[in-house]
Structure 1
Amino acid sequence: MAEKIKTSIVIDRNLWKRFKMKVLGERGLKGISEAVEEAIKEELCEDLIAEALEELLGPEKPPLAVNPVKPETDAGRVVRELRDSRL
C-alpha cells in the first residue's frame, strides 16, 4: 500500500457539500478519500500511463517513424463494384 498523507484544501463550500453527499450515498464515509484520490489520478492519468510505459520499456524508446503501407486492394474499384451490384 502506498504511503498516505493527510492534507487540507480550500474549496467552494457548496461544491464540497454536493460532492460529499453524492459520495456518502454511493460509498459511505471512507469513500470520500477514495473518490478524491480517484479524481486526482484521473487528472494525472496521462502522466501515470507514461510512467508505466517507461517502466515497461526500460531505457529503450519506441521508434517514432511510421512506415507507409501500400493497400492490397484498390478501394475505388471495390466501391464501384459495390455500387454497380446494387443496380
Structure 2
Amino acid sequence: MTLVMGAVAYDSKVVTIWAGFRAWFARQGFDFDFVLYSNYERQVDDLVAGRIDAAWNSPLAWVRARRLPGASPGRAPSRSSCGTPTRT
C-alpha cells in the first residue's frame, strides 16, 4: 500500500522537496507518493473525502479539516498541523 501525502505547492521548490522525500522513502522500502495542490481548501477536501492519506497542512487548514462535515477521527489530522499521517 502506498501512503499518499497532500501538500500545497506554494513555491516551485516544493516539488524538489517532496520528490526528495519520495526517493528517501523508496530507499527505506516505504511506498510513498505525494499530490500537490494549489490551495489548502482543495487539499483538505481531498483529505476528508479519503482521496489522500495525510496532509501537510497549515494550522488553519488543520482546523478546517477537523470541522468539515464528514470528517472522522480516521480522516482528520490527529496530532499536529503538519505532516501527521491521518489514518491509524
TM-score strictly above 0.5: no
- Larger RCO (alpha carbons 8 Å, 6+ apart): 2
The structure having more radius of gyration, on CA atoms, is 1
Structure with more of its chain in strand, by fraction: 2
Structure with more of its chain in helix, by fraction: 1
TM-score (normalised: structure 2): 0.28
